[in-house]
């Protein structure tokens, strides 16, 4: 009887050991897959960054997503810039990954994201502190290609910074850091703009979405910012629509402003405000609306310095 019990206990222990080995093996496999993915994404970004630093259009084109290439081309054409030379006219080189710690590398379908923590150095301003760099990639053709980068400043999130430094990575497991599995839509190509235009928003505590001529989409959140209108402004009637909503927790009644400016390339000629929606202190803004603004011959002459 004793020997039967011993055999039974031995089998239980053996099953437990095998089970633990399987769990450990699966965990190691997942970690190994993340490591390999992370190395691939690291190489793609580094290749892209080197192309930017060397101003190598062929290499840049090879490793950039179609979405990014056309979006950048549209913006340069909308500013009446030079393509492809203006790709490389940036105030500082993209940050290097050297010295940064990769926290996560994940893919879903044809999309992937990698998250880095450390002193993200743009080479301008004060000495960098520990922050986050989120890189996005899309699988095209035979491999991963670089799409976009997002810098997350943790100066106002010092508790988060301390948590990450201690090894608690819950913050970077939020939905915002996960690949969506949905490839970004390739924008329609626009011709070189006739008039450079910018949309401006002042929206404390709110999110403002603006669309100009059904092409140029803009999203502002709790800030004061301007963005170039993709496609520029057109002769005659131009269309504009907007949506406004309070951000979670906002209970204020600050004024809000949406404007469109025509920008001159002639020295000494100031921008012309061609559209404005503005509320007063305490006035509730419209949740959504549409409007038109017009570029007539007189306005065009002013912005081009002809009168």
Structure confidence at residue 108 (pLDDT)? 97
Residue 22 has pLDDT above 50, yes or no: no
Structure confidence at residue 34 (pLDDT)? 83
**9 inside domain:** no
Answer with the one of 177, 206, 222 that is the final residue of a domain: 177
Q: Does residue 298 sit in the same domain as residue 209?
A: yes
**32 inside domain:** no
| Residue with more model confidence, 13 or 106 | 106
Q: Does residue 103 sit in the same domain as residue 131?
A: yes
Q: Is the pTM of this model over 0.85?
A: no
Q: Does residue 254 sit in the same domain as residue 292?
A: yes
Mean local confidence (pLDDT), 178-195: 96
Q: Mind listing the pLDDT tens digit for each residue in 88-143?
A: 999 999 999 999 999 999 999 999 999 999 999 988 776 789 999 999 999 999 99
**35 inside domain:** no
Residue 303 has pLDDT above 70, yes or no: yes
CA–CA distances in Å: residue 248 to residues 1, 55, 149, 190: 68, 43, 25, 36
Q: Does residue 114 sit in the same domain as residue 225?
A: no
Structure confidence at residue 10 (pLDDT)? 36
The two structure tokens encoding residue 198: 């910018």
Nearest-angstrom CA–CA distance, 244 and 207: 6
| Residue with more model confidence, 21 or 127 | 127
Answer with the one of 148, 177, 206 that is the final residue of a domain: 177
CATH code of the domain in which 77 resides: 3.10.450
Q: Mind listing the pLDDT tens digit for each residue in 208-231?
A: 999 999 999 999 999 999 999 999
| Residue with more model confidence, 32 or 145 | 145
**111 inside domain:** yes
Q: Which residues contact 58 (CB under 8 A, 6 or more apart)?
A: none
Q: Does residue 53 sit in the same domain as residue 152?
A: yes
Q: Report percent pLDDT > 70 for the chain.
A: 90
Q: Mind listing the pLDDT tens digit for each residue in 72-85?
A: 999 999 999 999 99
Q: Does residue 216 sit in the same domain as residue 117?
A: no
Domain containing 165 equals 49-177
Q: Does residue 67 sit in the same domain as residue 162?
A: yes
**173 inside domain:** yes
Q: Does residue 205 sit in the same domain as residue 108?
A: no
Residue 254 has pLDDT above 50, yes or no: yes
Structural domains counted in the chain: 2
**27 inside domain:** no
What is the pLDDT confidence band of residue 28, given thresholds at 50, 70 and 90?
low
Q: Does residue 256 sit in the same domain as residue 163?
A: no
**221 inside domain:** yes
């Amino acid at each position: 009887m004793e020997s039967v019990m011993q055999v039974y206990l031995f089998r239980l222990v053996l099953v437990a050991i095998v089970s633990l080995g399987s769990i450990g093996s699966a965990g190691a496999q997942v970690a190994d897959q993340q490591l390999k993915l992370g190395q691939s994404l690291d190489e793609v970004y580094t290749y892209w960054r080197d192309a930017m630093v060397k101003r190598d259009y062929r290499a840049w084109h090879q490793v950039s997503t179609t979405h990014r290439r056309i979006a950048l081309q549209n913006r340069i054409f909308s500013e009446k810039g030079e393509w492809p030379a203006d790709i490389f006219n940036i105030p500082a080189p993209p940050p290097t990954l050297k010295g940064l710690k990769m926290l996560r590398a994940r893919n879903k379908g044809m999309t992937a994201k990698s998250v880095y923590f450390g002193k993200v150095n743009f080479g301008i301003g004060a000495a960098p502190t520990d922050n986050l760099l989120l890189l996005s990639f899309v699988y095209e053709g035979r491999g991963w290609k670089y799409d976009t980068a997002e810098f997350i400043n943790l100066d106002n999130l010092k508790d988060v910074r301390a948590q990450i430094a201690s090894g608690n990575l819950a913050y970077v497991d939020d939905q915002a850091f996960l690949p969506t599995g949905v490839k970004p839509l390739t924008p329609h190509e626009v011709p070189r703009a006739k008039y450079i235009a910018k949309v401006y928003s002042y929206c404390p505590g709110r999110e403002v979405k603006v669309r100009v001529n059904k092409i140029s989409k803009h999203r502002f959140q709790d800030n004061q910012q301007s963005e170039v209108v993709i496609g520029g402004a057109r002769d005659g009637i131009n269309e504009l629509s907007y949506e406004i909503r309070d951000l979670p927790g906002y209970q204020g009644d600050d004024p809000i402003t949406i404007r469109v400016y025509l920008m001159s390339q002639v020295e000494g000629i100031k921008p012309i405000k061609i559209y404005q929606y503005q509320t007063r202190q305490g006035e509730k803004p419209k949740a959504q609306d549409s409007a038109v603004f017009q570029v007539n011959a007189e306005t065009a002459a002013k912005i081009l310095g002809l009168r």
